[in-house]
Homo-oligomer: A and B are copies of this chain.
Amino acid sequence: MSVDTAYTELMEFQRQTEALAQVMGRLSWDQETVMPRGATAQRAEEMAALEGVLHGRRSDPRLAEWLELAMPEDDEAASQLRLIRRMHDRATKVPSRLAQEIARVTSAAQGIWAEARAADDVSMFLPTLSEVVRLKREEAAALAAGRDRYDALIDDYEPGVTAAAVSALFDRMRPRLVALREAVLGAAFQPPPLSGHFGLEAQVRMARDLAATFGYDWSRGRMDMAVHPFSSGSGCDVRITTRVVETDPFNCFYSTIHEVGHACYELGIDPDYALTPLGAGASMGVHESQSRIYENQIGRSRAFTGWLFGRMTERFGDFGVADAEAFYATANRVQSGYIRTEADEVHYNLHIMMRFDLERGLIRGTLEPEDLEEAWNTRFLEDFGVAVDRPSHGMLQDVHWSVGLFGYFPTYALGNIYAGCLMQAIREAVPDLDDQLARGDTSGATGWLRENLQRHGGLFTPHETVTRACGFEPSEGPLLDYLETKFGALYRL
């Protein structure tokens, strides 16, 4: 090992680690889309074995030596080293036994969650959830090394962000969101929901068209069905999933566009970064900014819904919506629904605020898993004014906690905030954006995002990534302004 060769050796070693991490992603994809149901226990062992390999490589003592010796020649190399150092620091804090145990338990937990959700039975899920929470508390304690445990988990998804900062942010956002929600729900004008039946195959065909419309590269991806839609993979194999509810095509269409946003981010990264730490999104917050801007600021805009109305009319005939204006209102209908992934833009961040408080309690130990259902339902009634009618509409709705994703939820809100900022920048840079979107041409917006944000992958910190793209410091202002303007007009406030 020498100064001259350290960087090259390190990157060669890391490349294989990144390749193995992609394999882990493929196993998750497989499990959630095509795996036979009887394979759950075996798959958990497979994932635990692979996690053992990954953890061993990420905590390999040679990394410390290479990091000590390697001299970055440029900003790119410096960023690679920054990300490898970060990965190594985290891995060395978590015992291999614990990392493997988390992989094993969360792999099996996912199937148990899906069954409990289908059966609407919290008791089926509770023992597993308790086990996951116990393990994640242990991991958080190891990572925190005396600091806040929940912060240690957030840091995995959004480096540099703390629970205190998120909390302060949410305190600033909540009054304006609640005021908007009250005004909208109290408005005289209330758009009707979509009614009727929209066949599965026709929805899937439309979803495929939408993916292509947003620039998804089918030669490096595919679309399958999943209970909880997700995107998966980096580099040349980035897959999306969707789901179909035959009475609610927006569920399929907008979750598809959302996942396409994630996928296009990964696919848009400079190919030179493939199988290196720079070859993935900068953070989950930045990732969510892409999925949310594709889905909402672009996909639910007046201009784009006008185009979508035309396409849906071609495919489904007259489906009971008079014109593009009425369709726009229906596609943006605000209501106190139970389900986060189906929530309108006004309610969405309120869902996140609630999950943030609950999962922080679970990790800090102020809330126990057996008390979660009551806590969820009480809080939902307070925040949304509706009583949860069944667990699949309540604490069983999201896959996240079953797979150990604690600290992830805040990144959705950060993503919304970043999306608000990015859209402000796009509107300045692409003056005829609405004309383009009205023709179903998203390339002005998505091309801007690829050029100014996506291609950089992990080159900059999350905050830098967004700041450089926008040309200004991100804050919640642009998002809240956008929401108040959009829904104020739509609901004739």
Contacts and interface: CB of A to CB of B under 8 A. Distances in A.
Contacts of A48: 16, 19
A219 B36 contact: yes
A427 interface: no
A322 interface: no
Interface string A351-394: 00000000000000000000000000000000000000000000
A27 B19 CA distance: 12
Contact of A45 (B30, B41, B53, B275): B275
Contacts of A37: 219
Nearest to A275: B45
A1 interface: no
A30 B237 CA distance: 11
Interface in A52-94: 52-53
A42 interface: yes
A468 interface: no
B22 A42 contact: yes
A19 to B, nearest CB: 4
Given A52-B16, A53-B53, A22 B46 contact: yes
A118 interface: no
A198 to B, nearest CB: 23
30 contacts: A15-B45, A16-B49, A16-B52, A17-B49, A19-B45, A19-B48, A19-B49, A20-B46, A22-B46, A23-B27, A23-B46, A23-B49, A23-B50, A26-B46, A35-B237, A36-B218, A36-B220, A36-B221, A36-B237, A36-B239, A38-B237, A39-B220, A39-B235, A39-B237, A40-B236, A42-B235, A42-B237, A42-B274, A42-B275, A53-B53
A34 interface: yes
Contacts of A30: 26, 30
Interface in A1-49: 15-17, 19-20, 22-23, 26-27, 30, 34-43, 45-46, 48-49
A217 interface: yes
Contacts of A235: 39, 42
A220 to B, nearest CB: 4
Contacts of A43: 237
Interface string A240-272: 000000000000000000000000000000000
Contacts of A36: 218-222, 236-237, 239
Contact residue range for chain A? 35 or more
B19 A219 contact: no
Interface string A97-119: 00000000000000000000000
A46 B21 CA distance: 9
A236 B239 CA distance: 25
| Main secondary structure on A side of the interface with B | helix
A477 to B, nearest CB: 40
A17 B39 CA distance: 18
A367 to B, nearest CB: 35
Nearest to A41: B236
A443 to B, nearest CB: 20
B20 A53 contact: yes
Contacts of A20: 46, 49-50, 53
**Most chain B CB inside 10 Å of its own CB: which residue of A40, A45, A220, A239:** A45
Nearest to A40: B236
Interface in A202-250: 217-222, 235-237, 239
B275 A38 contact: no
Nearest to A221: B36
Nearest to A237: B39
B39 A19 contact: no
A16 B96 CA distance: 14
A236 B52 contact: no
Q: Which 3 residue pairs across A and B have the least CB separation, nearest first?
A: A39-B237, A19-B49, A38-B219
A3 B17 CA distance: 35
A46 B275 CA distance: 9
Contacts of A23: 23, 27, 46, 49-50
B34 A34 contact: yes
Nearest to A26: B30
